[in-house]
Homo-oligomer: A and B are copies of this chain.
Amino acid sequence: MNSKISEKVIERLILYKNILEDLENQGILNIYSHQLAKMADVTPVQLRRDLMLLSYYGKPTSGYEVSTLLKAIENFIYKSDCAKVALVGLGHVGRAILNYFQGRSKLLKIIASFDKDYEKVNRVIAGCRCYHISEAPSIIKREDIKIAIIAVPQSSAQEVADMLIEAGIIGILNYSPMRLNVPANVYVEYRDMVRAVEKVAFFACYKNQ
Contacts and interface: CB of A to CB of B under 8 A. Distances in A.
Contact of A196 (B83, B99, B107, B189): B189
Interface stretch (A27-35, A136-144, A155-163, A169-177): A169-177
Interface residues of A, number: 61
Nearest to A17: B198
Most buried by B among A81, A195, A202, A205: A202
A105 B194 contact: yes
Contacts of A205: 79, 81-82, 146, 170-171
Contact of A82 (B41, B186, B201): B201
30 contacts: A7-B199, A10-B202, A10-B203, A11-B195, A15-B195, A19-B179, A40-B179, A77-B198, A81-B205, A82-B202, A82-B205, A92-B93, A92-B96, A97-B193, A100-B193, A101-B194, A108-B194, A147-B197, A147-B201, A170-B204, A170-B207, A170-B208, A171-B200, A171-B204, A171-B205, A172-B200, A173-B196, A173-B197, A185-B208, A189-B203
A11 B195 CA distance: 8
Nearest to A105: B194
A173 B195 contact: no
